[in-house]
Amino acid sequence: MHTIVLPLAQASEETRLHLQEDKLAFGKMQCIQSEGKEFIVLGIQKADWTEEDVRYLGGTARKAVTTTDVTLELSGLLQHVKELAAQTAMTAFMEGWYLAGYTFSHYKQDAPVQQEVALTILPTGYNAACSLAETRANAVMLARDLCNEPANILTPERYAGRLEQQFTDTDIQVEVITADKLEEKGFHATAVVGKGSAHPPAATILTYKNSTDKPTALVGKGITFDSGGTNVKTGSHIGEMKMDMGGSAAVVGAIKLIADLQLPVHVVAIIPMAINVAGSNAFLPSDVITYANGTTVEVGNTDAEGRLVLADGILYAQQLGAETIIDIATLTGTIGQALGLRNAGVFSNDPSSLWTYEALGRKSGDFVWPMPVIQEYETYLTSDCADINNHSSSKFGGAITAALFLKHFVQQGNKWVHIDMANTVRPWKQAGYYVPGASGFGVRLLYEMICHETGQQEG
Ligand code: BES
Ligand code: ZN
Ligand code: ZN
């Protein structure tokens, strides 16, 4: 059967008689049979449209479709959404459409065979907008794939190998630093955090150089499983810690999107990778780590491992000459206590940009909210025997003290932005273009931030 998703009544008189779109609230659906076809009508009664609203609607439409032959009649929607240019609205709708079609079923024996949907999109003339949507969605889906992969499959080594494979014959150069080279290359903490696991740690550097500028660095936490280490985690949801590499997945998706769209920028993605487990060879609370720049850190808690490996990445970025460093990580449970599950936290040593990032978050659908970096709290990171402790002595403000730890490694004069996405690595609700599993958070936001930081027209 032919299914038509019809946001506004573009149908014949007869069909229109059946439609009650004016009674349909935003995102609600009505299915009717008419003229031998099945129509899905989407409610679009709404004021103040944003790109995210349209994306959401595209996702809702995709989930309603059950046939493999679809006509999307969107002219009514494009006219109705006055706040956005038609091309922008089309891209947003199709981005939601593609993202909602994502499933992760590699390990299900009875997974339904994914059938290609034959799509007719009306009005015509929006090929570029639709292909941009597909490119954006593919980058997000790569991040989702990486996050959804179980920890026994996505070990640090295999993660690195997968990135090599992913970016073969592209404009992205991949350098894998294997465990035996980590210290030599300056990834001291990554080596320490990863030594408890039979699967050795690694670091991967992705470079996309399409300008003569100094690199802008993206640093992503790539802990492929976080058991807490010797400070072992308890509780039943620990399996979620396979997604403790969500920050690195965001970084991978973002650099892919940047390269696919051929932005004239120079970006380096730095990904320290390790498994954090307890064991006879694991690092211990009270251990001291000496970093590449000489900074010493007392391990107050092995479960605060993310900040330890990110600090390696931040130092490496500065070694490469980066003056703008954006790190992203599933760093603290506390960020969810502070902000709930829709907005990640964004911190910076240049707070004047924070509201711009908040706006870019709303535009991209990867919502962030400005958080303060309260310098005075650094006193909670005092160590008796080293320069700094990785664990705060206060039980309050954990996301802020984690940010302060990272800031400790940023050289004066460099711009640093930190995104704590521990609360958004999974969708905050199962609606619109979100599906079970990982959200793919951060890919589109980082893309927008790179455009902003490098003065590019946003895509
Ligand atoms: N990976 C966790 C943070 C996390 C928590 C991610 C919940 C996703 C969901 C991180 O390494 C961690 O364990 N953080 C600790 C820090 C504490 C020991 C200072 C935390 O948030 O409890
Ligand atoms: Zn941890
Ligand atoms: Zn962690």
How confident is the model at residue 13, as a pLDDT? Answer: 60
The pocket of ion ligand 2, defined by CB under 5 A, consists of 226, 303, 305
CA distance 201 to 179: 5
Lowest mean pLDDT among 26-35, 114-123, 292-301: 26-35
Q: What is the 3-state secondary structure (H, E, C) of 323-381?
A: CEEEEEECCCCHHHHHHCCCCEEEEECCHHHHHHHHHHHHHHCCCEEECCCCHHHHHHH
- The dihedral through the CA atoms of 361, 269, 330, 436 has a sign that is positive
CA distance 71 to 456: 35
What integer is the mean pLDDT of 90-110? Answer: 96
Active site residue 233: yes
pLDDT at 194 over 90: yes
Give the DSSP H/E element, type plus range, for residue 173.
strand 173-177
The answer to whether the beta carbons of residues 217 and 410 sit under 8 Å apart is no
Ligand lying nearest the CA atom of residue 303: 2
Percent of the chain surpassing pLDDT 70: 94
* Residue 186 CB-half CA count within 13 A: 19
pLDDT at 347 over 50: yes
Active site residue 62: no
Per-residue burial over 55-89, b if 16 or more Cβ lie within 10 Å, else e, is bbbbbbbbbbbeeeebbbbbebbbebbeebebebb
CATH of the domain spanning 137-454:
3.40.630.10
pLDDT at 5 over 90: no
pLDDT at 7 over 50: no
What average pLDDT does the structure give for the chain? 94
Percent of the chain surpassing pLDDT 90: 83
Burial class for 326, CB neighbours closer than 10 Å (0-12, 13-18, 19+): buried
What integer is the mean pLDDT of 198-214? Answer: 98
The residue whose CA has the least distance to atom 16 of ligand 1 is 304
The residue whose CA has the least distance to atom 8 of ligand 1 is 422
Ligand 1 centroid – CA 347 distance (Å): 17
pTM value is 0.96
- Out of 158, 233, 362, 407, the active site residue is 233
Ligand 1 atom nearest 332 alpha carbon:
21
How confident is the model at residue 15, as a pLDDT? Answer: 59
What integer is the mean pLDDT of 203-214? Answer: 98
State if residue 330 touches ligand 1 by the CB under 6 angstroms criterion.
yes
Ligand 1 centroid – CA 332 distance (Å): 4
Q: List Cβ neighbours of 151 (8 Å cut-off, separation of 6 or more).
A: 224, 225, 241, 242, 275
Ligand 1 pocket: which of 297, 331, 428 to mutate (most atoms within 8 A of CB): 331
Provide the token pair at 140.
């997000």
Name the nearest CA neighbour of 63 among 122, 22, 117, 127: 117
Radius of gyration (C-alpha) of the chain in whole angstroms:
23
Residue ranges of the domains in the chain? 3-101, 137-454
Ligand 1 centroid – CA 328 distance (Å): 14
Lowest mean pLDDT among 33-47, 270-284, 353-367: 33-47
Task: Give 43's pLDDT tier (boundaries 50, 70, 90).
Answer: confident
Ligand 1 atom nearest 391 alpha carbon:
19
CATH of the domain spanning 3-101:
3.40.220.10
Name the nearest CA neighbour of 303 among 243, 225, 378: 225
267-304 pLDDT tens trace: 999 999 999 999 999 999 999 999 999 999 999 999 99
Q: At what angle do helices 246-260 and 127-148 cross, to 10 degrees?
A: 150
What integer is the mean pLDDT of 391-414? Answer: 98
How confident is the model at residue 117, as a pLDDT? Answer: 83
pLDDT at 3 over 80: no
Ligand 1 atom nearest 233 alpha carbon:
13
How confident is the model at residue 8, as a pLDDT? Answer: 37
The answer to whether the beta carbons of residues 430 and 93 sit under 8 Å apart is no
What integer is the mean pLDDT of 41-50? Answer: 87
Q: List Cβ neighbours of 262 (8 Å cut-off, separation of 6 or more).
A: 171, 210
Q: List Cβ neighbours of 394 (8 Å cut-off, separation of 6 or more).
A: 377, 380, 401
Give the DSSP H/E element, type plus range, for residue 400.
helix 398-407
CA distance 452 to 346: 15
Lowest mean pLDDT among 44-53, 158-167, 355-364, 427-436: 44-53
| Angle CA 317–320–324, to nearest 5 | 50
How confident is the model at residue 170, as a pLDDT? Answer: 98
Provide the token pair at 132.
């941009």
